Chains A and B, each alone.
Chain A
């Protein structure tokens, strides 16, 4: 048992790594990018200021890096020349694509640009792009001691200031070509690869995914591409809304479902059971967004009743409240959402409970209990129900991610600013880091939930062994 648990625990990190990779790939490969929604794109993208701010934006969020594997080191001068030529010819889309590839290429392109300075066809364009491409990235704070970082960044600063001045606007072409050619051999080490190890590390580590993981290892989900604020506190501030909604609903659902299931199973095929089963079946088939919309319209909006607030988690005003009245206020807001959520969960749980108890009631030991003269309540509650509840207890593990994530639909209908709403807002704005954060936290909880429910199977039923 312990061996099994340990094995499962050890498998969790690699599984999580794969999950993060799949989600990351899906989000990054899907068409559309945050540069389109944030306005960082700049209208037309031609003016110097706009393209500069786009570049800074992409650098800040590593959007200039390849997604999973960085193969730019294997670009050849011929390919770079083709890209340079493509920026001046072809359709708008082709020109923009080529320009973007060159902008993103960064340091990897410098050796090729220097070689291409001898090519009259592209000399001018290469000169234009060299100062930007030759700029070195600053060293991030967490890569070394404070002194190391300061020293290195001072070097980088001087280096960048030097190359930045070498623009065709300031100097003649012939002069620039000789300067770059004299300069390059001295700085070769910054731009070329020495050895296999550096190539491999660049291939795997100089990518969006690796940078994301670099942050993730420090429990940092990055910053929002919308307002540049860290994601983690944003998520934490939303959790309490989702948690209160789901926790109350699930506890209520269990409290009702268990007795209802037992009752229904004991009185099976009676009229009461038929009514309960049909009702639960209908509740099970009702989509939450439909129930929610109807309740809201019927009881809140004033068509015909206005008994409940029309949405939100609490009354937003400046009135000071006591703890009690604040609780009452939240409760008032939560009645309809909780009812909607409970009705769906309840239907599913109750059906499980009923099936579980019916299964047990038929078994031999229940007949034995009756035969030895125990009263019916004792037989049902002490002998049958306990074992009949095993299946729905083990379902609890699977509810863990729900507790955190809440329900996107119910939060959307009732305007509760929980994590589901946060996810919807973030995907609307293409805020990759926020979406990734929510998805990853829920997957970790799902992993833990599945693990717990598998373990609980074995804990409550000693006959099950995983070895």
Chain B
């Protein structure tokens, strides 16, 4: 016998999500961002010079593409390993997670939240173990240049079975003899000054931008929220000290500082760039959270939590913090866009990670060689990404604003 379920009261999050979904422009922008993530994760599926399947004559079937995914010599900069393991993890555990997630929908709210927490935690855990394993055991795939190998094998009269991704080029290794070629059916956007396929680099550049955007923001928002929460909750001399530190960081001209520090590092990696961006940006969320805490800590529910004997960390992080996160959410969405801009500016000025196919770096290459495709393509990519993120940011801001509820 099944009783009709009473409708659940919407939580604050439900309302905000609902509000967001009523804004069609923001929803399409959010979809656009999802597509960008898809492009980033699937980049090697679309562009790689390693064939999915490779077989010479009656020899054994080989899978060079799959092997190359974990090659730390080829994918030298961490970012790609991150996305490649994410790709494999999504294919392996993704369907299971999706099914479990769907099945938990029938549960009442509290057990459902708990169950979904477990599912998400387990999925991320599996992926992180996988990533850690790949990082811990450096592996080098066969170094063959397959398109050339294919030609030479065919010349000997042997049958070759080779299935390539749609764009059979590498983002990293170019043919210097074919530098700065115009658009053709082989290279849709031409090649850069090192003979690398521009479209492939553009595609892998999505990974760089999204990584910088998301991780820099995650890093500085976490830092800023903790610092701001402590300042706002404790007040007094803690607040005074933190306020002075914030003031100092705000007054240092951030782009100047970012450029100076970046150029003084001899071997810049994308992680340095992440940390530098985070180090100058954490003050924003810290100030927002501090202001919210100053207001919230005087409210009755905090007094109630204290009377109930909750410990201070519980009061700060479980009771007050969720109520203070609204403004931070908005600034974080816009922050992703500006972090992406800062990274591309750095790469454009030649102060980024030189091994990365970053959009700014491609644009710089286009500027110095004067090739239109290499200016317009990365520029539009940055423009579209930043626009989409800003649109999502506006949607989040409006959805959080009670005055604008529809």
- On A, residues with C-beta under 8 Å from B are 11, 14-16, 18-19, 22-23, 26-27, 30-32, 281-282, 284-287, 289-290, 293-294, 297, 301, 303, 401, 405, 408-409, 412-413, 423-424, 427-428, 430, 435, 438-439, 442-443, 446-447, 450
C-alpha spacing A289/B368, complex, angstroms: 13
Q: Does the CB pair B375–A427 fall under 8 Å?
A: no
A11 CB to nearest chain B CB (Å): 8
B260 interface neighbour in A11, A27, A287, A443, Cβ under 8 Å? A27
Known: A22-B252, A294-B376. A31 touches B265 (CB 8 A): yes
B349 interface neighbour in A14, A23, A412, A442, Cβ under 8 Å? A412
Q: Does the CB pair A405–B253 fall under 8 Å?
A: yes
| Residues of B350-391 whose CB lies within 8 A of A | 360, 363, 366-367, 370, 372, 375-376, 379, 382-383, 386-387, 390-391
- Asked if B251 CB lies within 8 Å of chain A CBs, one says yes
A370 CB to nearest chain B CB (Å): 22
B344 CB to nearest chain A CB (Å): 6
Residues of B contacting A287 in the complex (Cβ-Cβ under 8 angstroms): 341, 344-345, 379, 382-383, 386
- Chain B interface size, under 10 / 10 to 19 / 20 to 34 / 35 or more: 35 or more
Looking at chain B's contact residues, the main secondary structure is helix
| Residues of B210-266 whose CB lies within 8 A of A | 244, 247-253, 255-257, 259-261, 263-266
C-alpha spacing A450/B263, complex, angstroms: 28
Looking at chain A's contact residues, the main secondary structure is helix
Could you say which of B244, B248, B348, B370 has the most chain A C-beta atoms within 10 Å of its C-beta? B248
Residues of B contacting A438 in the complex (Cβ-Cβ under 8 angstroms): 256
Q: Does the CB pair B261–A30 fall under 8 Å?
A: yes
Known: A281-B390, A290-B379, A430-B264. A423 touches B248 (CB 8 A): no
Residues of A contacting B248 in the complex (Cβ-Cβ under 8 angstroms): 15, 18-19, 22
B388 CB to nearest chain A CB (Å): 9
C-alpha spacing A249/B367, complex, angstroms: 24
Nearest 3 Cβ contacts at the A-B interface = A30-B264, A290-B379, A285-B387
Residues of B contacting A281 in the complex (Cβ-Cβ under 8 angstroms): 387, 390-391
Q: Does the CB pair B261–A285 fall under 8 Å?
A: no
Q: Does the CB pair A293–B372 fall under 8 Å?
A: no
Known: A31-B266, A281-B390, A293-B366. A439 touches B345 (CB 8 A): no
C-alpha spacing A413/B259, complex, angstroms: 16
Q: Does the CB pair B264–A290 fall under 8 Å?
A: no
Q: Does the CB pair A297–B370 fall under 8 Å?
A: yes
C-alpha spacing A30/B366, complex, angstroms: 31
Q: Does the CB pair B253–A427 fall under 8 Å?
A: no
- On B, residues with C-beta under 8 Å from A are 244, 247-253, 255-257, 259-261, 263-266, 337, 341, 344-345, 348-349, 360, 363, 366-367, 370, 372, 375-376, 379, 382-383, 386-387, 390-391
Can you list 6 A-B pairs with a CB-CB distance of less than 8 A? A282-B387, A286-B383, A293-B363, A405-B256, A439-B253, A450-B251
C-alpha spacing A281/B26, complex, angstroms: 14
Q: Does the CB pair A290–B383 fall under 8 Å?
A: yes
Excluding A289-B344, A447-B251, 5 further A-B contacts by CB distance (< 8 Å) are A15-B247, A18-B244, A18-B248, A287-B383, A435-B260
Residues of B contacting A427 in the complex (Cβ-Cβ under 8 angstroms): 259-260, 263-264
Residues of B contacting A435 in the complex (Cβ-Cβ under 8 angstroms): 260
Residues of B contacting A31 in the complex (Cβ-Cβ under 8 angstroms): 264-266
Nearest opposing residue in chain A for B262, CB measure: A427
Q: Does the CB pair A289–B348 fall under 8 Å?
A: yes
Nearest opposing residue in chain B for A303, CB measure: B370
Residues of A contacting B390 in the complex (Cβ-Cβ under 8 angstroms): 281, 284-285
Residues of B contacting A294 in the complex (Cβ-Cβ under 8 angstroms): 375-376, 379
C-alpha spacing A14/B244, complex, angstroms: 9
Nearest opposing residue in chain B for A16, CB measure: B251
Q: Does the CB pair A26–B257 fall under 8 Å?
A: yes
C-alpha spacing A435/B257, complex, angstroms: 9
Q: Does the CB pair B256–A423 fall under 8 Å?
A: yes
C-alpha spacing A16/B248, complex, angstroms: 7
C-alpha spacing A284/B376, complex, angstroms: 17
C-alpha spacing A303/B386, complex, angstroms: 27
B393 CB to nearest chain A CB (Å): 11
A93 CB to nearest chain B CB (Å): 14
C-alpha spacing A255/B263, complex, angstroms: 37
Residues of A contacting B251 in the complex (Cβ-Cβ under 8 angstroms): 15-16, 19, 443, 446-447, 450
Residues of B contacting A430 in the complex (Cβ-Cβ under 8 angstroms): 264
Residues of B contacting A284 in the complex (Cβ-Cβ under 8 angstroms): 390
Q: Does the CB pair A409–B244 fall under 8 Å?
A: no
Nearest opposing residue in chain B for A412, CB measure: B349
C-alpha spacing A428/B350, complex, angstroms: 10
Residues of A contacting B261 in the complex (Cβ-Cβ under 8 angstroms): 26-27, 30
A207 CB to nearest chain B CB (Å): 19
Nearest opposing residue in chain B for A402, CB measure: B253
B283 CB to nearest chain A CB (Å): 12
Known: A30-B265, A290-B383, A294-B376. A15 touches B257 (CB 8 A): no
Nearest opposing residue in chain B for A423, CB measure: B256
Q: Does the CB pair A442–B360 fall under 8 Å?
A: no
Residues of B contacting A443 in the complex (Cβ-Cβ under 8 angstroms): 251-253
Known: A281-B390, A287-B345, A409-B348. A23 touches B379 (CB 8 A): no
Residues of B contacting A401 in the complex (Cβ-Cβ under 8 angstroms): 253
